A and B are shown apart, each in its own frame.
Chain A
């Protein structure tokens, strides 16, 4: 090696030309995720899994006597809420913690944090950039879920006209209420705890999953519940009462059509927006705490 080889381009840049640190962190983290083929496979597998869950639920309903005197179509306004809450969010909450918790902790595990933390990258840009990146990936998964519902709903409608055509507006409302707030909440909780306790990420992931299941099983009466199961437990009985009160007076030949029309009417979801998005805000608040409390480096001896 000759000495003349080490002639680096001079630092002739003005400070104003530098990229925004937060955007740099976010965009490079997204590139990193996309650079891994396994992640593409994971995304595809999730999509297929969501479709599979919806199909399984449909096939199960077709072959089983249910307590309802009618079919609750997954593509209807009320059915969508049920599909998102009872079918999809249960599995999504098992996937999401694994996507978000190691946004920062991964650097500790593969020992790249020491190199990274010696750079002038501001701590806040690092933490928030990483959070936005994991949130983007989490939301991308949520979009895959939305697409799966749309695709399966359209397929079922084409296959059997009794299934109403999914209405995009209703679908997005249900998704925005049932899926987005818990995504923000779980992303916030998983990411912030994983950032503050990077060596405890497995416990954190497991804790989130267990808590989620608890909310599912015992949180039905709560007014505020991230799973959305409380919303279903409020809306479905109202719907059933309406059906039961009028069912006998409807001619048998028209009952399916009547029930279909009834469940196509979107219920008033406005009352649930505040509790759901309060939970989402709590998730973001936790990230703020993590960004403030974040230590740039953790020594094994400390």
Chain B
């Protein structure tokens, strides 16, 4: 295993952001999912050596990252959730700047930058100042900078935020192509993103790992707990208060609901195949009393 996390805790005063996290990761693509405040960003920042843990250990190739932070930084590509660029630079200048900060020799940096600009489809705009870029274009620059050192460990936090659907597909394809000889940790709220690319899902909630499994296994766990039914508006409202409704579509004949429940929520409910979003909602703990 390349990355081993043992009994990791992180506290901010009395607030426990991470509680007893243990994970072992090889070269694979891990989808890290969880609601806001689950601890995803904190976990990734600890792995990226940005913040220290309160307790526990993170080992990269057998070495504690707190003792040898440079070892992991040398092989790390990191895209934070929110980031700013130097708007006075062009994309090409900014990438060369970060390549220099990553210690890439000049010749290699120039080739890499050219390759990555092509990869993220910014050839035409690469010499324009970043202040003229749209949010999606800036996000692509962020993705490119994370890949500058051909990282062995790639951590991307909400990378598809701000990307249009076509760009999201491009990015997912790119991530899929990266999984050989490297560990990719992808954090996202968008279940569709991880469904398309991740072979392992780690679900965090309230700072704890509530599921560490494959997407298929997570789906399997949700079997028999997802229901579909069409009801009138008043019944739909009642059901919404009693059970976890994962989808609601207004139709001419009434309201089509998708409900997550251990038992049939209504006499007209029909059991349906769960999707990964349903399975995720179940994993993080549904709000229906007595459920999970």
Contacts and interface: CB of A to CB of B under 8 A. Distances in A.
Chain A interface size band reads 35 or more
Contact of B115 (A3, A8, A116): A8
B123 to A, nearest CB: 12
Contacts of A35: 86, 88-89, 93
A31 B98 contact: no
Contacts of A159: none
B150 interface: yes
B236 interface: no
A302 B50 contact: no
Contacts of A66: none
Contacts of A31: 93, 97
Interface in B171-190: 173-174, 176-178
Interface stretch (B68-76, B217-225, B261-269): B68-76
Contacts of A7: 115
Interface residues of B, number: 51
Given A115-B83, A118-B50, A296-B50, A301 B17 contact: yes
Interface string B128-164: 0000000000000010010101100000000000000
A118 B12 contact: no
B100 A19 contact: yes
Contact of B80 (A12, A24, A115, A301): A115
B82 A120 contact: no
Nearest to A110: B84
Contacts of B7: none
B108 A13 contact: yes
27 contacts: A1-B170, A5-B119, A8-B147, A9-B108, A9-B111, A10-B150, A11-B150, A13-B105, A18-B104, A19-B103, A31-B93, A32-B89, A110-B85, A115-B142, A117-B50, A118-B49, A118-B50, A118-B78, A119-B73, A119-B76, A119-B98, A119-B101, A119-B103, A120-B103, A296-B50, A297-B50, A302-B12
